[in-house]
Structures are given as C-alpha cells and as structure tokens.
C-alpha cells in the first residue's frame, strides 16, 4: 500500500483534521503549495471539500486555489488506485524502450496511461524523469524507485497485485 | 570491524542496494556505511570493502550474490567474478577531474566529521573571514558560469545582488533538475549534501543574504530524505542558524518541495511556485537579482553552480579558472544516459570532446548497436550526429554547431531510434509543460505536434516540414522564455541531421 494512502475514504477527511493540516502552513513561505502537498500526501488526492478551507486560510479565492492545483501534475483531484505505477516517459528512458514497456504494462494491466482501472486497484501514470536516466527504463512503484525495468518485472509486479486478497 | 560501503544513491536503491545492505549489516564484524554513488552507475549497486591496500570494489551486486561474495572472501577484498579491483584504479573514475564530486561516494554523506576530514568547510572558513565584495570577486575571478543551462557569469549575478539595498535578500537553489538525462544535482544532494549547504552559506555571505531555500523536485524522494537529514544535523552542529560556526553571522536554510512541473525549473516560474502560486513565468526585467522571491533581491543558482563555490573559495578563483578552455572555465559533471553501455557521471574540465565521453567513457550503446545520435542538454537540447562528435564540450564550441551544453546531460540513442518520433515528442513535451503565458509556446507546441504527426503519416511531407520551419521561427522569436523559445532546437536539429527519418513516410 502506498505511503499515506491509508485514508482513501473521503468521509474520513474530517474538516477538523484538514484544517489542522492547513493551519500548519499558513505562515510558511509558499504556504499554499506546502498545504496542498501535505493534503495530497495524507489523503492521496485533494478533495473538493478542501477548496473553501484553503481559500479561507490563505485569504484568496477558490478559483485561485483551483488554479494552483490544476497547474501541478502531482496534485490529484480524485483518489488513485490502491497501487500506483509511474513509468518514466522522458527521452533517456525512451532510448532504452520505455515506449514499448509502457504499452506492455497498460495492456497487461488493462488500463490506459494516466488512468485508474475501473475496479480501483491499479493506476498507471506518466512521470517525466526520475533521475535514473543511466539505468532506464525507470519506474516508481508505490512510491519506490525501480531501475532497468523489464517486461518480466512488470508481469511479476502485476501478478503479485492481482493475487492480493 | 570491516567497513563495507553500499550506496544510498537513488540508482543503487532502485537496483536493490537496501536489500544488499541489510544482508551485509547482519553479519558479525561488518560495519555498513551508506555512501553516495561514485557515479559508475552501470555497476550499481557497487559494494566497496575497506582493505589495507585501499577500497576494493564489487559490482553490480544483488542480494543473491552476497553469499558467494562472502565465501570468496569479500571482507578481505578477495577475488570474485564481480570484483573490479581497487575502486580508484577503475579507468572510468581514474580519468576524471573531480573537484565538485571529489568526495561523492568516498565519505559518509551525513557525517559532518567525515566531511571536514575530507576538506569540507575550508571554503566557508575562508569566506567567513572575508568581506562580501571579496567573496563575490573571487567568484568573478573563477569565471564560473551557471550550470543550470543558461551559463550566465555567476560573479556578475553575485555583484548585482550584493549591490542591491534591501532589508531581506535570499539565496535560492534551483534543484528542480527536470532535464531528462541529468542527475548530477540528485547525486550530489544524496552523496555530499553538506557541500551544497556550504556553497549556499558562502553565497549568502557574498551577497548579503541571510536566508536560503532549496527548491527540490518531488521526483527525488531519496535526495529529499538525505538532504532533510543533513539540514537538521547542520543546525544541531551550528553550521546553520543564528551564528554560523560561532561567528555571529546568520544563515537559515529551508527545503521546499515542488509538485511535478518541468517549467518550475525556469527561475522566475520557480520563484512564483516558491511563493505558493502557479509556476507562471515572469517577464524580465525586473531581474530576480533585484526583485526575486517575495519581491526581494534573490540569487538563484543551480545546485552544481553552488557546489563549485566551496572549491573556488578554498583553492582560489584562479585555481578553478585553470581548468577548462576559453570562457568555459572549471569542470562540468557530464552525465551519460539513455542507451549507453557505461552510464554515469563524468566530471571533466570543459573541452573534453563529446566523442571521448560517448565512446571513451560511455563505451558506445548498451545494445551494442551503432550510435545514431546524442541529445545534449536536456529536452531543449540538440540532437547531434556522430559526425559532429569531435566537438569539444564547451559553451562556445557547442554554440557554433547550433547546440548547447545545458546542464551537461548526454542521452545516447542507437540506430533503431526514430528521430521524427523524437521531434514530435519535443513538441508534445512543450505542450504538456508550457506555463501558458505566451501564445507562440502555448498554441505553437500543440500545432507543432499535430503537423509533425502529419509528416510522420506521410501527408504532404514537404509542405508540412516547411510549416514546421515557419512555426519554429515564430516560437524562437516570440516566446517569453526558453521553453517555447528552445523547443525548436531538438526539432530542427533532428530534421537537419536525420532528414531520412522525416521523409520515409513520403508518398510522392
Ligand atoms: C524551461 C526551463 C527549465 C529550466 N530548468 C532548470 C532546472 O531544472 N534547473 C536549473 O538549475 N535551471 C533550470 N533552468 C535555468 C534557470 O532558469 C536559471 O537560469 C538557473 O536556475 C540559474 O542558475 P545558474 O546561473 O546557476 O545556472 C531552466 C530554464 C528553462 C527556460
Ligand atoms: S515560452 Fe512557454 S513556458 Fe515560457 S512563458 Fe511562454 S508559455 Fe510559458
Ligand atoms: S529519463 Fe527516465 S529517469 Fe530520467
């Protein structure tokens, strides 16, 4: 399970807990970014119910908060799958077959790039460089770095995930 | 106790170093040190054993190899199929000129005592006894130019910030390292984090700034963990805070994490992001050096620029200037990536040729096929054919062939690569990462990708290539920043040097 994803149920995001998280960053440099990162880490995504709280805390409009959230790839607006596979799509990994690897993974997992499977088990998303460019193709598997990833590695991973209770 | 070194570097960890370390740590008489990487990345996890003869290297080591290694006398530097001999004698390492990366992989990155024992803090100690003007002058003398991509003379920037009157000034370290094929910032932050801290304190002293931020990309979890720990220890040891090394001079440093936007590597976009906003590019002027973070004078530098500073102060600007050629002074950590046999980090003085790096150090492609191209300097860098690889790696020589050194990343491709697909990717990437502020980039990139798709499909190839040419001119001349302004470089270099890849769909 992905770190910080223990609370995927939106109802568990009590207003009190959210406010407490946000309050920590109100006076910090770049506080809104820090608060968004904290929410995203804690809940796996940023729930719409957080928007008015953030707007009030930082004294800006809801539209401004939305604008910031939509600018950054890391901020999710809906829960992701139980498992998240991020596959590097940048040039150095392309040079060692990331395009083929990505097609293979999406086909095997039966999910489109950037999507979460209907059963909510698996998300596959792009990432643009993990700094493992000499040892590609690179991936991040539930938050952990992996290098020189092969199709067999993907198969083993997916099999393990499919066989979980 | 036998000391065994197993890197904590991202690459080593991504290839199983934690498991190897756990297994070795459980053995009696073994003291495991998690060092940085030596940069011989194709050999990771690279395990080193301290012996009376020196450190003996083994690699790449997997958890499954540990038993046979121990049986072969690993702890005495015994022979084994994975044994590489003395680390320092490995050609790839021996032929480098390491100034910035001299300690990386040698020491325990989090041990400040180790850092000092290997020459750390000597630059800072000198700077603490100097006037700010003299510190900035030393940087000027070194000829150091920004390693983040734009290669602007560092000394000029320092003097501008120093000359600006303000109650608060900042030093901001750009650790957004978004370029594919680059990992030098990551490696040094994981392998020698106090070097960056030292460089930033000196930058504060040399510009009159008492507060610093490191803007680190979120894709680097290991760098985040190591650098956070180093920061904490630096405060405990009195290296940071109200009185740096007890001198009464203050410097505070904070880590700030990004959220997955390439454009935030552009310095003004980065500053907006650091203010908690969308990472929109700002029009210049005003220069960040005069109105940067929170509207205050701000020195923005790449990690590697700042990490060169302690050497410049410790050894003198003239010493640093002796490396390199012409107006490209000092050393550069080049990074060999992509389809390369021996990938890794090569720190050399400017002037080494691309061929020496690609063939000599890199050993050609990983697949063993012919080299088709190297993309140098990240996603906005040129695709360079083998015929041009005798070009020396320095700013001026690269400019002459329509390319740039950028942050020193070199991505290698073998002859199966399709340059038309790479050119289309350049547009796609620009479309994805554009901050949206100006039209040539925001709309141009999308149009470029569409038109390139037609070229690939073989629709009116010549007409569409002419369209691309026009479009690239508009993007080059009309974009506010280098995102839109330099996307034409990979596109046009691919077309110029590999025309066949674009004409193969041609139905006429
Ligand atoms: C699209 C774009 C992305 C950039 N990305 C980075 C980056 O990831 N790291 C970096 O240091 N500089 C990057 N730069 C360059 C910075 O704008 C700036 O020149 C640099 O941080 C200044 O530091 P230096 O003088 O030490 O190079 C980028 C520039 C552009 C236009
Ligand atoms: S060129 Fe692109 S990234 Fe740069 S300011 Fe214009 S829209 Fe933004
Ligand atoms: S390009 Fe894939 S890790 Fe850098």
> Does the interface predicted TM-score (ipTM) exceed 0.90?
yes
What lies within 8 Å, CB to CB, of A106 at 6+ separation is A112, A113, A124
Which residues does residue B390 pair with via DSSP β-bridges, in sequence order?
none
Q: Can you give the residue ranges of every domain in chain B?
A: 2-94, 112-321, 324-414, 419-503
- How far does A17 lie from chain B, in Å, by closest CA? 21
* CA separation for the pair B169, B337 (Å, rounded): 37
Which amino acids bring their CB within 6 angstroms of ligand 3? A 88, 90, 92-93, 129-133, 136, 138; B 180
Q: Which residue has the tokens 């901050």?
A: B435
Residue with tokens 């020189």: A148
Mutate to test the interface with A, among B266, B365, B410, B411 (most CBs of A within 10 A): B411
Ligand located closest to B433 CA: 2
Q: Is A74 on the interface with B (CB under 8 A)?
A: yes
Interface test with A, best of B219, B256, B266, B361 (most A CBs within 10 A): B219
- Provide the percentage of residues in chain B whose pLDDT is more than 70: 100
Q: Does A3 touch chain B (CB under 8 A)?
A: no
pLDDT tens-digit map of B442-484: 999 999 999 999 999 999 999 999 999 999 999 999 999 999 9
- Give the SS3 label for residue B301: strand
pLDDT tens, position by position, B75-100: 999 999 999 999 999 999 999 999 99
CA–CA separation, A104 and B266 (whole Å) = 34
Alpha carbon distance B456, B424 (integer Å): 9
* A36-57 mean pLDDT: 96
CB pairs under 8 A between A and B: 155
Q: Which of B7, B92, B276 to mutate to test the interface with A (most CBs of A within 10 A)?
A: B276
Q: Which of B307, B476, B299, B288 lies closest to B407 in space, CA to CA?
A: B307
CA distance B82 to A58: 57
Which fold is adopted by the domain B2-94?
Glutaredoxin (3.40.30)
Locate B460 and state its tokens.
Answer: 């009116």
Residue pair B429/B401 in contact by the 8 Å Cβ criterion: no
Flag if A133 and B10 touch (Cβ within 8 Å).
Answer: no
- If you write DSSP's letter for every residue of B317-346 in order, what string do you get? HHHHHTSEETTEESEEEEEEEES-SS-EEE
The architecture of the domain spanning B419-503 is Up-down Bundle (1.20)
Residue nearest to atom 1 of ligand 2 (CA): B484
8-state DSSP, B101:
T
CATH of domain B112-321: 3.40.50.11540
* Max Cα–Cα distance, chain B, nearest Å: 76
Instruction: Give the span between the Cα atoms of B205 and A147, in whole angstroms.
Output: 40
Residue A164: predicted pLDDT: 86
> Which sign, positive or negative, has the C-alpha torsion B61, B67, B68, B70?
positive
Contact present, B303 and B265 (Cβ < 8 Å): no
What distance in Å separates residue B107's CA from the closest CA in chain A?
Answer: 22
Architecture of domain B324-414: Roll (3.10)
DSSP B153: B
pLDDT tens digit string along B285-309?
999 999 999 999 999 999 999 999 9
- Range list of H helices, B32-130: 66-71, 91-94, 112-117, 122-128
pLDDT of B254 higher than 60: yes
The torsion defined by the Cα of B70, B72, B77 and B82, in degrees rounded to 10, comes to -90
Give the residue-averaged pLDDT of B278-290: 96
Beta bridge partners of B5: B33, B48
pLDDT of the residue at B506: 80
How much of chain A, in percent, has pLDDT values that exceed 70?
A: 92
Q: Considering CB atoms only, which of A93, A131, A136 is closest to B220? A: A131
User: From start to end of B179-320, where are the E strands?
Assistant: 211-216, 252-257, 298-302
- B55/B107 Cα distance (integer angstroms): 12
- Residues B10 and A144: their CA atoms lie apart, in Å, by 10
State how beta strands B54-58 and B47-51 pair: antiparallel
First CA to last CA across chain A, in angstroms?
13
Nearest chain A residue to B345 by CA: give it: A134
Q: Assign domain A83-164 to a CATH class.
A: alpha beta
Q: Is B416 on the interface with A (CB under 8 A)?
A: no
pTM over 0.80: yes
CA A127 to ligand 3 center in whole angstroms: 9
Residues of A with CB below 8 A from B271's CB? none
Q: Are B97 and B325 in contact (CB under 8 A)?
A: no
Between β-strands A122-127 and A83-88, what pairing exists: parallel, antiparallel or unpaired?
parallel
3-state secondary structure of A3: coil
B224 by DSSP, 3-state: which? Answer: helix
Give pLDDT, residue B435: 97
Mean pLDDT calculated for residue range B368-393: 98
ω into B116 cis (within 30 of 0): no
CB contact at 8 A, B53 and B77: yes
More confident call, A81 vs A10: A81
Set of chain A residues whose Cβ sits within 8 Å of the Cβ of B181: 90-92, 133
Residue with tokens 């929170």: B294
Whether A2 shows a pLDDT value over 90: the answer reads no
pLDDT confidence of B315, banded at 50, 70, 90? very high
| B200-205 average pLDDT score | 99
pLDDT for B355 beyond 70: yes
User: How far apart, in Å, are the Cα atoms of B427 and each of B194, B424, B443, B458, B477?
Assistant: 38, 5, 10, 18, 16
Tell me what pLDDT residue B87 has.
98
Q: What pLDDT, on a 0 to 100 scale, did the predictor assign at position A14?
A: 82
């Amino acid at each position: 399970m992905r770190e910080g994803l223990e609370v995927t149920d939106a109802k568990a995001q009590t207003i009190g807990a959210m406010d407490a998280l946000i309050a920590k960053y109100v006076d910090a440099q770049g506080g809104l970014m820090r608060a968004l990162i904290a929410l995203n880490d804690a809940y796996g995504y940023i729930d719409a119910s957080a928007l008015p709280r953030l707007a009030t805390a930082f004294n800006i409009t809801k539209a401004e908060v939305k604008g910031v959230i939509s600018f950054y790839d890391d901020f999710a607006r809906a829960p992701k799958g139980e498992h998240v596979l991020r596959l590097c799509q940048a040039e150095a990994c392309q040079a060692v077959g990331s395009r083929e690897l990505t097609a293979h993974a999406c086909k095997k997992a039966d999910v489109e790039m950037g999507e979460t499977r209907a059963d909510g088990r698996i998300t596959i998303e792009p990432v643009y460089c993990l700094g493992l460019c000499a040892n590609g193709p690179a991936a991040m598997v539930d938050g952990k770095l992996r290098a020189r990833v092969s199709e067999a590695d993907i198969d083993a991973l997916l099999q393990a995930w499919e066989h979980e209770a | 106790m036998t000391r065994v070194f197993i890197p904590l570097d991202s690459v080593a960890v991504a290839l199983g170093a934690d498991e190897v370390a756990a297994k070795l740590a459980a053995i009696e008489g073994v003291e495991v040190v998690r060092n940085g990487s030596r940069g011989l990345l194709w050999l990771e996890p690279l395990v080193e054993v301290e012996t009376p003869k020196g450190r003996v290297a083994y690699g790449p080591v997997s958890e499954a190899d540990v038993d046979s290694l121990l049986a072969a006398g690993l702890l005495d530097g015994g022979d084994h199929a994975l044994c590489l001999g003395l680390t320092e004698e490995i050609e790839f390492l021996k032929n480098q000129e390491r100034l910035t990366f001299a300690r990386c992989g040698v020491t325990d990155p989090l041990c400040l005592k180790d850092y000092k024992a290997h020459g750390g803090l000597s630059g800072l100690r000198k700077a603490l006894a100097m006037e700010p003007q003299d510190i900035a002058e030393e940087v000027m003398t070194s000829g150091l130019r920004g390693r983040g991509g734009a290669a602007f003379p560092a000394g000029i920037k320092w003097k501008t910030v120093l000359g600006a009157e303000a109650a608060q000034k900042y030093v901001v370290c750009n650790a957004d390292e978004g370029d594919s094929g680059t990992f030098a910032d990551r490696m040094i932050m994981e392998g020698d984090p106090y070097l960056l801290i030292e460089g930033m304190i000196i930058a504060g002293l040399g510009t009159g700034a008492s507060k610093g931020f490191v803007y680190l990309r979120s894709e680097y979890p290991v760098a985040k963990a190591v650098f956070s720990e180093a920061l904490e220890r630096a405060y405990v040891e009195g290296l940071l805070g109200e009185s740096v090394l007890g001198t009464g001079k203050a410097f505070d440093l904070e880590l700030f994490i990004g959220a997955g936007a390439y454009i935030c590597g552009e310095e003004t976009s980065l500053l907006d992001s650091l203010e908690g906003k969308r990472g929109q590019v700002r029009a210049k002027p005003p220069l960040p050096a005069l109105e940067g973070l929170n509207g205050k004078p701000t020195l923005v530098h790449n990690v590697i620029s700042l990490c060169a500073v302690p050497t410049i102060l410790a050894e003198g600007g003239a010493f640093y200037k002796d490396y390199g050629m012409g107006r490209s002074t000092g050393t550069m950590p080049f990074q060999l990536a992509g389809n390369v046999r021996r990938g890794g980090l090569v720190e050399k003085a400017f002037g080494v040729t691309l061929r020496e790096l690609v063939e000599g150090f890199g050993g050609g492609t990983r697949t063993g096929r012919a080299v088709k191209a190297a993309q140098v300097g990240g996603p906005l860098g040129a695709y360079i054919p083998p015929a041009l690889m005798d070009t020396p790696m320095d700013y001026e020589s690269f400019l002459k062939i329509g390319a740039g050194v950028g942050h020193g990343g070199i991505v290698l491709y073998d002859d199966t690569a399709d340059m038309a697909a790479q050119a289309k990717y350049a547009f796609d990437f620009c479309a994805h990462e554009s901050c949206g502020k100006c039209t040539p980039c925001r709309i141009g990139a999308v149009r470029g990708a569409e038109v390139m798709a037609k070229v690939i499909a073989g629709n009116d190839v010549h007409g569409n290539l002419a369209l691309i040419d026009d479009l690239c001119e508009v993007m080059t001349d009309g974009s506010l920043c280098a995102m839109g302004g330099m996307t034409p470089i990979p596109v046009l270099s691919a077309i110029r040097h590999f025309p066949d890849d674009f004409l193969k769909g041609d139905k006429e």
